[in-house]
Amino acid sequence: MNVQVGDIVKLENNQFVTADLLLLSSSEPLNVVYVKTAELDGETNLKVKQALTFTGEMGDDVQRLAGFNGEIKCEPPNNRLEIFKGTLTVDGQMYSLDNDRMLLRGCMLKNTEWCFGLVVFGGPDTKLMQNSGKTTFKRTSVDHLMNLLVLCIFVFLLSMCSVLAVGHSVWETTDGSVFTAFLPSEPGVDSPLSSFLCFWSYMILLNTVVPMSLFVSVEIIRLVNSFYIDWDRKMYYPKSDTPAQVRTTTLNEELGQIKYIFSDKTGTLTQNIMTFNKCSINGKRYGELLDLTGQRIEITEKTPRVDFSWNQQADPKFIFHDHSLADNVREGDWEVQAFFRLLALCHTVMPEGKKDGELYYQAQSPDEGALVTAARNFGFVFRSRTPETITVVEMGERVVYELLAVLDFNNIRKRMSVIVRNPEGKLTLYCKGADTIIYERLHTSCNELMGVTTRHLNEYAGDGLRTLVLAYKDLDERYVNDWLQRHHEASTTIEERDEKLHELYEEIEKDLLLLGATAVEDKLQDGVPQTIEQLAKADIKIWVLTGDKQETAENIGYSCNMLREDMKDVFIVSANTADGVKEELRNARRKMCPTAAEEPNVTKARAGLFWLEKTETLHDDRVNGEYALVINGHSLAFALEKDLALELLRTACMCQTVICCRVTPLQKAQVVQLVKKYKQAVTLAIGDGANDVSMIKAAHIGVGISGQEGMQAVLSSDFSFAQFRYLQRLLLVHGRWSYLRMCKFLQYFFYKNFTFTFVHVWYAFFSGFSAQTVYDQWFVSMYNVFYTVLPVVGMSLFDQDVNDGWSLQYPQLYLPGPLNSYFNKKSMVWCLIHSCYSSLVVFFIPWAALHDTVADDGKDIADYQSFALVAQTCLLVVVNIQLCLDTHYWTAVNQSFMWGSLIVYLATTFAMHSNDMFSIFTSVFPFIGTARNSLRQPNVWLTIFLTCLLCGLPVLAFRFIIIQLRPTINDKVRYKARKEGLPGPVPCRSSVRRVGARRSSYAFSHTKGYGDLVTSQRFKNGLGKQTEQPQFYRPITRESELQPQ
């Protein structure tokens, strides 16, 4: 369907929004709709959008909608998901439009039968498309280097052929005339023409040095290594029946070179499921189980749960283990009941009544839903609300509270309050918010209780829980009436409305009485802290790029051990101007490294094929100690500008951990591209939602997690699996093995081909530079196809320096990969030198051994055919010995490939040198009897042995000396593996308990709540026509233990 600007579109439940729409009307009361924005910001909780009143009156009247006539003036297309500014003019009346009226492309309509919307932006102008990144063809760094080397090898081949052609010309001029009596020259063929023809003959003869079969072998190796990932049972997630999947088979070895990981938070590091974990009420802790000695008991799946069967309206999926809290509620403990009464009243949650009588909650924030669900299970069930009332079922009795005011949450207040009147006429203000904010407003009589609660909060924060403080205040009737009048006047004014409301809120929210504190857990996926710790040991830097709020991201950072109290400092960048961001970044950098230069150290160079690509590399400054950087999305927007980009990258790279909060999908991609451009390092992006697609496409490697946010990330990724913890196995095991195997394959492949080719070069000096082959022509044809291909492929498919257990226990084994230590230009030069030496031995030892040599019967065996046979046999045995020296892990397949290739060589050689083949194909198989005559001579076998000894012994001696003097981490771990056999358990850092210095989290969304909506005079009871159950904050049971690696 071709949707254009100005069209009116009808959407039905569970349909995706196809363009950026202005909501006109809906099937729900108050013209609200529920949308799931996981494809945009990664958040799975439903959002509420509301149409303008006068457009909502049109309902589903097609005639009125078709006749709707108005003019919209708005901002130009941009990528800011959270902001929309515009006006709608109808019949001379102007209405303000903001983001709450807009349905953005990529959202999904949920729990709403139908709605109508006016297309404002379509196609590439939509905010989703403005945030989408470009799809690029991904090639590994090994590919780029291999292309460059092949080009260099081709130039080297031209040089060799030119030198040999010149040599041929010189030989023809000086010595060639002597042989004209035996080999007359063709008429008209002089020395220059002969040299020209010789050049092309050598091009054909030496073409094996340009490895055309290399690319085919590389793709086969990559394909099989991809199957290993697909078949890995330790990366299979049984709960969702999801195996690991390789979606791009050409990037396997790049997994062994990752330096930077960019990760989403919601759904990637966490399960996005909030659970009411613990609480402190009137100085008493609940939620922990203690034994008789007062020691904490670990809670497992087998721990008895609280039985809520006495509460008919309890959520059956709610889990709690401390029976004392339920007992105190049922016994009528006033403080405990007041605690849950506050949770049931002080919120902006909307109830949803289903046809089957069940009750579900629609919350702006999953953690707010978790708190209301906790109150529900402990006997205080929030049932319904109107603009004037809140209905709660308290311990089985229905109680209706009059709602006088909602003092809504925002990111400055960091708290929310409600003023209610109970059926007895008592007025009470209930307040919940961040501890530091509430403590400033407590009555002095709460000082002792505040100290006890603070200790509890420190313990909760140390466990990585999101804390919240609850307080209340009884109000006087006369004062409330006066305050409500002033509140009404302030809320209806146009100028300085926010300032006046803030003053009124500050006035009434003081002298509060402390009730207690809650602790909500944003459940991490299993094994996330251990995975991050393992990757950090491998010197892989992890940056978290999340659309969530700062406090939530910080708390998850501490839970994951990315942020720790033993860090020297955690820098917060939150300025609202470019100059402010620049100053904060520079202050952080100067504190980390006072001696660093003010200007960044950037090296410019050229790289790529023909050196046409310009590169800029930012060098790191040395830092003593560990630091972390947390930057907000609005600050990041300034920092990513051209003038500040290097300052941001320089400061961020000095930190051990970087967390970017409230970032858009496009900003995620921009951060990845910034690191790619100036660090020249391999990057990996991992996410689970459509808002991560741009980041996944921008990185060298994209990993999608198949979670609760759809399959967009998986479909755009190169690798996918179900849990973040599988990332360590993907990199530290499969990635490292793939990189190691590919590097060994390339080095050995170039070695055997160079050695094969150089023998021809040395033979040219003895054959008058005639371009005659030194080997049997059938050996030349079958060398790369049959004799040497299977052994090297076998090594490249099965070799491993240590097994997966040792690879996970020692993540430091991964370090050579990002440094590109195994295969680079230096290693290629050494390979060339090694091949040159081996070719000299392979040629001159048989030449010297067979020179003027006779057999036992006195017959001469120093002929060309015998020499060719001995030389090619020595070559094949030497390259196989080198393969044995390079192989660390032997299997039956390796053995069969290596010995099989030698057996095939001997069998085909004897067959092609037989009398029968010569009699049938005389001109094709001229080496009649050479094999049986030469290989039965003891001196020939002694020559082969001496050649192999001279080629293999220096390699063994060199490696022995290097291991003794400068052993690598691989050498040490291999030695330990040989001594101990199986590895022990993977050591992990114990979770460091945090103290109050970083306790600033609170269970609110970082956007304004539903306060204005729930107090609207148009609000009606019965927002309950929805038909789908939201699953965002419901507790589920975590896997009992991490799957064994």
Catalytic residue annotation: 264
Instruction: Decide: 767 and 191 in contact? Cβ < 8 Å.
Output: no
Residue 619 Cα distances to 98, 151, 625, angstroms:
44, 29, 18
> Which residues partner with 466 through β-bridges?
520
Query: Beta strand 541-545 with 657-660: parallel, antiparallel or unpaired?
Result: parallel
Residue 226 Cα distances to 140, 251, 682, angstroms:
15, 9, 19
DSSP 8-state class, residue 350: E
Instruction: Decide: 457 and 517 in contact? Cβ < 8 Å.
Output: yes
Three-state SS for 644? coil
Q: In what order do the strands lie in the sheet with 32-36?
A: 46-50, 32-36, 108-110
> The tokens of 996 are what?
């109050």
Question: In angstroms, rounded to a whole number, what is the distance separating the alpha carbons of residues 288 and 297?
Answer: 8
Three-state SS for 39? helix
Question: In angstroms, rounded to a whole number, what is the distance separating the alpha carbons of residues 723 and 800?
Answer: 25
Count the alpha carbons within 13 Å of 853 in the hemisphere toward its beta carbon: 20
Three-state SS sequence of 464-525: CCEEEEEEEEEECHHHHHHHHHHHHHHHHCCCCHHHHHHHHHHHHCCCEEEEEEEEEEEEEC
Instruction: Decide: 140 and 683 in contact? Cβ < 8 Å.
Output: no
Instruction: Name the residue among 12, 108, 103, 104 with its Cα closest to residue 60.
Output: 12
Three-state SS sequence of 59-92: CCCHHHHHCCCCEEEECCCCCCCCCCCEEEEECC
Count helices and strands (H / E) in the chain.
Answer: 35, 32
Q: Using CB atoms within 10 Å of the CB of residue 150, give its burial: 0 to 12 exposed, 13 to 18 middle, 19+ buried.
A: middle
> The tokens of 282 are what?
């009137």
Largest CA distance in the chain: 132
Beta strands per DSSP E along 249-344:
258-263, 270-281, 284-286
Residues whose CB falls within 8 Å of the CB of residue 718, separated by 6 or more in sequence, listed in order: 138, 246, 247, 248, 251, 701, 702, 703
Q: Using CB atoms within 10 Å of the CB of residue 29, give its burial: 0 to 12 exposed, 13 to 18 middle, 19+ buried.
A: middle
Instruction: Decide: 1012 and 408 in contact? Cβ < 8 Å.
Output: yes
> Which residues partner with 521 through β-bridges?
275
The residue assigned the tokens 């990144």 is 133
Instruction: Name the residue among 292, 274, 285, 263 with its Cα closest to residue 44.
Output: 274
